[in-house]
Structure 1
């Protein structure tokens, strides 16, 4: 039994006329009649009652018509769903992210992605920025946000952002009245650094910036998350450096001022396995690039 047998049968069942059915199927009547007879012989049932040139579905034919219709409908649905999967319109994707992405780029990206691809399941998994690539290599996620290009042939990456650093400072501090702040002006302030094990790139950069001005950041108060650092800043406990995009946060008593030393920048990449066959991935990467490029 082949799918064409089901289509032939259902066309006859609909028209109850072999001549009309043959015309709809664009075949001659004798081959159609032969196909139906072969189908009945294979199933060892009578599908049509043929009396006085009238054709009616038998009780067995009525059951088979219902089941055959269901089979072809499911087949058509399977084809459509398969095509949608090939276009990346359905499926799933697991995304690794770290803290400050959660309140800058990720919210608008997820909102628009879900609007455009409502049938795609997005799984979010938090790792520190230092752990992102390891999670990708383990297969925990399909792609990750990172702050430096891994430069690995097995991995593919795209640069989403390259943004300057800003000084986060209490609004009532005298320096907050300035349009820009140099790192040299912060030598007498407590500069809150990030933990080396959590954000090694930021930890090193802040150390280098402070060293260029002849002092060191605080070694007693190193935070694992930007929000924790901003909490200390809001209390007037010290200052910290953050990527420009963090200005989108609403933290009480915190002002953000550009850092005069513009050579200090924070990059953001998306990284995934070069051999990935996940068709949803390309849709996510493209939209991430679009969102990141918006002012």
Structure 2
């Protein structure tokens, strides 16, 4: 017994006419009639009573028709589910993200995809870049958005945007009154950095910028959250170099542009061979909605 036997029987049950039912199923009447007889033979029951004028369902046929309606509805739902999943329009997507994305259009990206694809469930999991890499490799997330990292060969990645780095100082810091700010003005300051084990490339980039300015930074504190960095700076606990978008956090600190064009990259990462449609769809929304902030003006 094949699925077509059931489709043919449902058409006959609703049309009660072999010719019309065959036409509805896009076959000629002889093979249609054969299929109905095959179904009856397989079940060993009579499903329809035939005469020269009428076609009527037997009690067995009536019972089968009721069940087959529900079954074919479920089959249709299964087909639709498979199609939606294959097109990335249904399913769950676990997304690792870095806190700074809150100021780069994360909410707009998620809202746009959820509005366009209401059957896609996006679960956001905040984690540092290195944690995202490990979570991708372990299958705990489907896609990650991290900052400036060396991506293992088993992962694919694409750069979504570049964000300028800026100096973050307390609101009343003397450097804010300087006519021409130079990074070496902070050589005697204590620096607050993002934890090196969580983002080694960022940490080394900050050290490199200071060395290029003629001094080795005094790293006093290392933390896991950008907002923590800025909050600590606002409390006078040190200075920092942060992505420009953090200026939008609203925390009590001041930002000064760097003379150099130093940037940090936002990368989208996923496991090689896992280019499922939902991941590719999300990548498209990321390219359209994630953005670098405008250049910070010296305060």
Length, aligned pairs only = 293
Trace 1:71-110 onto structure 2 (pairs within 5 A). Answer: 71-110=71-110
Instruction: List gaps (5 residues or longer) in structure 2.
Output: 294-299
* Aligned: 1:140 with 2:140: yes
Residue 266 of structure 1 deviates from its aligned partner by 0.9
1:140-289 correspondence to structure 2 within 5 Å: 140-150=140-150, 152-176=152-176, 181-251=181-251, 253-262=252-261, 264-289=262-287
Query: Partner of 1:43 in structure 2?
Result: 43
Following superposition, the deviation at residue 169 of structure 1 comes to 2.2
Which segment drifts farther, 75-84 or 129-138?
Answer: 129-138
Corresponding residue number in structure 1 for 2:13: 13
Give unpaired runs (5+ residues) of structure 1: none
SS of 1:221's partner is strand
Counterpart in the other structure of 1:290: 288
Residues in 2 aligned to 1:258 and 1:232: alpha-carbon distance in whole angstroms: 19
Find the aligned partners of 2:101 and 2:290 in 1 and give their Cα distance.
11
Shift in Å, 1:219: 3.2
Call closer, same or farther: CA 1:277–1:201 in 2, change over 3 Å.
closer
Q: Distance in 1 between the 2:263 and 2:28 partners?
A: 74
TM-score norm. by structure 2 comes to 0.86
Distance 1:233 1:152 in 2: 33
> Does the Cα contact within 8 Å between 2:167 and 2:242 map onto a contact in 1?
yes
Q: Please tell me whether the aligned partners of residues 104 and 246 of structure 1 are also in contact (alpha carbons under 8 angstroms).
A: no
Please name the residue that 2:131 is paired with.
131
| Runs of 4+ residues deviating >4 angstroms | 177-180
**For 1:88, what is the secondary structure of its paired residue?**
coil
Q: Deviation of residue 142 (structure 1)?
A: 2.0
The worse-fitting range, judged by mean Cα deviation, of 68-77 and 103-112 is 103-112
Would the aligned equivalents of 1:180 and 1:258 in 2 still touch at CA under 8 Å? no
Quote how far apart the aligned CAs of 1:149 are: 5.0
Return the TM-score normalized by structure 1.
0.87
1:58 aligned residue: 58
Whether the aligned pair in 2 keeps the contact of 1:13 and 1:65 (CA below 8 Å) is yes
Structure 2 CA distance, aligned partners of 1:65 and 1:138? 48
TM-aligned CA deviation for residue 48 of structure 1: 2.0
Deviation per CA, 1:247-279: give whole Å up to 9, x if none: 22111x3222211222x2111211222211522
Aligned mates of 1:179, 1:257 — CA distance in 2:
12
Q: Deviations over 1:230-255 (max 9, x none)?
A: 1122223332111112122111x322
Alpha-carbon distance in 1 for matches of 2:180, 2:162 = 19
Alignment CA distance shift 1:181-1:287 (3 Å): farther
| Deviation readout 1:11-61 (Å, 9 max, x if unpaired) | 221122223333434444444333323322221222223467322222211
Q: Does the 8 Å CA contact 1:133/1:144 hold for their aligned counterparts?
A: yes
